[in-house]
Homo-oligomer: A and B are copies of this chain.
Amino acid sequence: MSTSTQSNPGLAALRDALRRFAADRDWDKFHSPKNLASALAVESAELLEHFQWLTEGESAALPPSARAKVAEELADVLLYLIRLADRLDVDLLAAAHAKIARNAEKYPIEKARGSARKYNEL
């Protein structure tokens, strides 16, 4: 499949770099899926911390220094996500395409338009 992680040069290169990074440091023993899922949640919260006291408008107009820090947190989330998917042998891109298709069924355009309600409350 042309969009799979395996054949996607960007994600596969990151996955391989993370494998080498962990192997070089003997970190595989720490990288159980349970621990990586915790680390991913922690990084997501560090990302959220940058926005917690901002208004929505301010969050869309970050000054350059804040934006650079946020970009680094986004990277942390992506790296743990790739590492966790690798340890679980899940193809991230294939899973994402499947999820978009499911969401399109759960949130039909005519019902979901302009509403933030959950699919089971539409």
Binding site for B on A (CB under 8 A): 2-5, 8-11, 13-14, 17-18, 21, 24-27, 29-30, 32-35, 37-60, 62, 67, 70-72, 74-79, 81-82, 84-85, 87-88, 90, 92-93, 95-100, 102-104, 107, 109, 112-114, 116
Contacts and interface: CB of A to CB of B under 8 A. Distances in A.
Q: Which 7 A-B residue pairs are closest in the complex by CB-CB distance? A: A45-B45, A34-B59, A53-B116, A32-B56, A75-B99, A44-B44, A75-B95
A interface SS class: helix
Copies of this protein in the assembly total: 4
9 contacts: A8-B9, A26-B113, A27-B114, A33-B60, A34-B55, A35-B53, A53-B116, A74-B92, A78-B95
